[in-house]
């Protein structure tokens, strides 16, 4: 039988606050900077960095209690080069997997269209100086 994980099996926590109610989708993209050196004995592989980004699509929560938009904006205004912790947790039928690391804050956009719910897309750059962990 196939294992199916849906968005309802995933939770997003940034700076110790969980943002599942307003999160529409989250994508963690890892891009290893692996170099290959051709030696006399054959190729040698060396991973230099493991860069990553965290893409978050969410309902805009400006003005709400525990607002992610405002938390990111305040963090960016006060310490833009200071990374904040995140955890992306997927709960499957047999176990739970947690991806955790640090991302740099960024002020999300603010927009709206008529009576439709306002949505925000933000891409947070991962801190390559800290290891992205999978538990």
Annotated domain spans of the chain: 7-134
The whole model's pTM is what?
0.85
Compute the distance between CA of residue 79 and CA of residue 53 in angstroms, rounded to an integer.
Answer: 19
Say if residues 77 and 105 touch (Cβ distance below 8 Å).
no
> Lowest-pLDDT range, 45-49, 69-73, 101-105?
45-49
Cα distances (angstroms) measured from residue 2 to each of 25, 29, 94, 131: 22, 24, 12, 31
Q: Is 6 helix (H, G, I), strand (E, B) or coil?
A: coil
**What's the gap between Cα 67 and its chain centre?**
16
Task: Decide which of 54 and 111 is more confident.
Answer: 54
| Each residue's pLDDT tens digit, 31-67 | 988 899 999 999 999 988 889 999 999 999 999 988 9
pLDDT more than 70, % of the chain:
99
Residue 73 phi, psi (nearest 5): -65, -45
Residue 5's pLDDT band (cuts 50, 70, 90)? confident
pLDDT higher than threshold 90 for residue 104: yes
Q: How many helices (H) and strands (E) does the chain have?
A: 1, 8
């Amino acid at each position: 039988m196939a294992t199916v994980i849906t968005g309802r099996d995933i939770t997003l926590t940034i700076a110790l606050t969980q943002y599942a109610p307003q999160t529409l989708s989250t994508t963690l993209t890892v891009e290893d900077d692996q170099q290959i050196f051709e030696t006399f004995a054959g190729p040698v592989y060396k991973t230099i960095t493991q860069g990553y980004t965290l893409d978050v699509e969410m309902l805009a929560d400006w003005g709400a209690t525990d607002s992610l938009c405002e938390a990111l904006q305040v963090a960016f205004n006060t310490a833009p080069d200071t990374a904040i912790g995140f955890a992306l947790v997927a709960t499957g039928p047999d176990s739970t997997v947690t991806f955790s690391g640090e991302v740099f804050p960024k002020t999300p956009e603010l927009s709206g269209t008529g009576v439709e719910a306002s949505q925000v897309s933000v891409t947070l750059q991962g801190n390559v100086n800290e290891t992205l962990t999978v538990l």
